[in-house]
Structures are given as structure tokens and as C-alpha cells.
């Protein structure tokens, strides 16, 4: 049976953990809203490493993001449990339909497990490739411009593979279209 001292210690640990999470989330929100992320350019070497990384799709087949070099590439890091991700994905589906023939290619990189990604993709009618990332990819994502480590995170690359925009947080269709259309 836990003693009063053990119960107090447990409450203190839980309170400290919640406080640390809240501080981290607050810092991430500040970082995102302050525009500091746009001042911190993506590391070109990290972007090249990301393009070269072999990531599995939901069926386990390996692909590299570099496969789509030569197209305007929108790489969206997301997860099934992420509410802003769920909001922006239908807009990405529409943009893939609208601009795919003009050279736009979305690729979703799920920080999740294939068994959750597959039904999620079906539910939302995702019409672009989905890859599944591990912890090593999260490190590359941070170096590629997502200093705060937030989801969703979107990288827009021009046809040469240069970063046109690194965007932490939700990306609405109008703002993304303003970045993408001049690149097509």
C-alpha cells in the first residue's frame, strides 16, 4: 500500500512532467508565432540527407524522397493523432488534384505506425504517397528547419531541391498555394 510520502512524490513528479510539457509547448508556439522559424534557414545538407533517406511506405516498400526531384515537392510531416494535420490534409488532397499535372507532388511522412496510417489515409482519401518515419527521420526533420519539433511540419522544395519554405504548424491552402504556384 502506498504511503502518503509516495503519493506526494507521485503527484510532484506528475505535476513537474505536465509543467515541462506545457513549457515545451509554449516555447514551440512562441517559436512558431514569432516567425523565428522562417529566419532559421533549413540546413541544405540535412535536406539532401532527407531526400536520400530510404523510408518505407505503409506496405513496407522503401522509397526515397529524391524520387520526386524535378517536381515541386511538398513534404508534409504529420501523425494520425495530430488535429492540425487532420485539418490540412484535405486541402493538400485538393491541391494535389489541382496542380499534380503541372508538376506538384505532395508526399506525406507519417510519424506513426503503418497500421494506423493505412485506415487514416483511406478515410481522408489521400491521393499522394505516404511514407512512415522513424526517430532518425525526426532528427533530419529538425535539422531541415523544424527546430521546435512541432507537427505538422511542411517543407516546400523547388524543382532543383532547394527549400522554398519550411513551415512549422498547420499550413492552410491559400498560404501554401501562394508559395507553390510561382514554383510550378
Instruction: Please say whether the beta carbons of 146 and 168 come within 8 A.
Output: yes
The answer to whether residue 15 sits within a structural domain is no
> Quick check: is 157 in a domain?
yes
Domain that residue 102 falls in: 35-183
SS (H, E, C) 98-125: HHHHHCEEEEEEECCCHHHHHHHHHHHC
- Is residue 73 assigned to a domain? yes
pLDDT at 152 over 50: yes
Q: Is residue 137 part of a domain?
A: yes
- The CA distance from 147 to 35, in Å, is 12
Do residues 69 and 105 make contact, with C-beta atoms less than 8 angstroms apart? no
Using one digit for the tens of pLDDT, what is the confidence trace for 86-102? 999 999 999 999 999 99
Asked if residue 158 is part of any domain, the answer here is: yes
170 found inside a domain: yes
Report the alpha-carbon distance of residue 113 to residue 106 in Å, rounded. Answer: 19
Contact call for residues 102 and 183 (beta carbons, < 8 A)? no
Over the stretch 50-60, which tens digit does the pLDDT of each residue have?
Answer: 999 999 999 99
Please tell me whether the overall predicted TM-score, pTM, comes out greater than 0.75 for this model.
yes
**What mean pLDDT comes out for the span 6-35?**
49
Q: What is the mean pLDDT of residues 103-124?
A: 96
Q: How many domains does the chain have?
A: 1
Q: Say yes or no to pLDDT of 127 above 70.
A: yes
Cα gap 37→54, rounded to integer Å? 26
Q: Is 128:78 a contact under the CB 8 Å cutoff?
A: no
Q: Could you tell me the CATH number of the domain that includes residue 66?
A: 3.40.30.10
Angle ∠(179,149,97) on CA atoms, nearest 5: 35
Q: Say if 9 falls within a structural domain.
A: no
Residue 84 within a domain: yes
Amino acid at each position: 500500500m502506498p504511503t502518503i510520502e509516495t503519493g506526494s512524490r507521485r503527484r510532484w513528479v506528475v505535476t513537474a512532467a505536465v509543467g515541462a510539457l506545457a513549457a515545451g509547448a509554449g516555447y514551440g508556439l512562441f517559436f512558431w508565432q514569432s516567425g523565428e522559424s522562417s529566419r532559421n534557414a533549413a540546413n541544405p545538407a540535412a535536406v539532401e540527407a532527407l531526400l536520400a533517406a530510404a523510408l518505407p511506405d505503409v506496405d513496407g516498400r522503401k522509397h526515397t524522397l529524391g524520387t520526386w526531384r524535378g517536381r515541386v515537392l511538398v513534404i508534409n510531416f504529420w501523425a494520425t493523432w495530430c488535429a492540425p494535420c487532420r485539418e490540412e490534409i484535405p486541402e493538400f488532397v485538393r491541391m494535389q488534384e489541382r496542380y499534380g499535372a503541372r508538376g506538384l507532388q505532395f508526399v506525406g511522412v507519417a510519424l506513426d505506425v503503418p497500421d494506423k496510417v493505412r485506415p487514416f489515409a483511406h478515410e481522408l482519401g489521400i491521393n499522394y504517397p505516404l511514407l512512415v518515419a522513424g526517430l532518425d527521420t525526426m532528427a533530419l526533420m529538425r535539422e531541415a528547419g523544424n527546430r521546435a519539433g512541432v507537427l505538422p511540419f511542411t517543407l516546400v522544395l523547388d524543382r532543383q531541391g532547394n527549400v522554398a519554405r519550411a513551415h512549422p504548424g498547420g499550413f492552410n491552402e491559400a498560404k501554401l498555394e501562394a508559395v507553390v504556384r510561382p514554383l510550378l
